[in-house]
Amino acid sequence: MNKFESPAMTARATIRASVLKYTALLCKSLEDNYNRKHTNRAGQLQYSIRTGRKYHKIVEGEGSAHAFVDKNTGEVYKPASWSAPAKGVRFDLRIIKEREWLYENAEFTGGYLYHNAGV
C-alpha cells in the first residue's frame, strides 16, 4: 500500500481482484460441465469474460451472454439480454458456501441461474 491509498481503497481493490478470479473459476466449471456431458463432440465450448463498466459478462462461445457478475460485489445475475442482467441476485461469489455450490453445480445450459435452483 502506498502513502496515497487508504485501507478502504485497498480492500475494494482486493475484492474486485477476487471477484474476477472467482468469475474465471466459474467459467472453468462451466467448460468442465460441458466437456463431461459431451465427450464425443469434436469441439469444446469455451467461456470468456468481457468486462464492462459495472459487470463481468460471462460469454458462451462466440456470442451469447451466459451470466453477469457485479465487479464490486460478486453478485451473479441471469442475463435478461446480451447487454443487461435480469433483476434479482442469483448467487454471491463472496460467500464461500454459494461459491462452492456454483463450482460443483453450474451447468452450461444455465439452469442453475433460475431462482429455485440455488443453495
Mean pLDDT on 17-41: 91
Query: In this predicted structure, what is the pLDDT of residue 45?
Result: 87
How deeply is 37 buried, as exposed, middle or buried, from its count of CB atoms within 10 A (0-12, 13-18, 19+)?
exposed
pLDDT tens digits along 78-101: 999 999 999 999 999 999 999 999
Residue 1 lies in a domain: no
- Residue 80 lies in domain: 7-117
Number of domains, the chain? 1
Residue 72 lies in a domain: yes
Residue 62 lies in a domain: yes
- 42 has a pLDDT exceeding 80: no
Nearest to 89 by CA among 65, 115, 110, 54: 115
Residue 2 lies in a domain: no
Residue 24 lies in a domain: yes
CA distances from 91 to 9, 24, 54, 57, 113 (A): 25, 15, 17, 15, 8
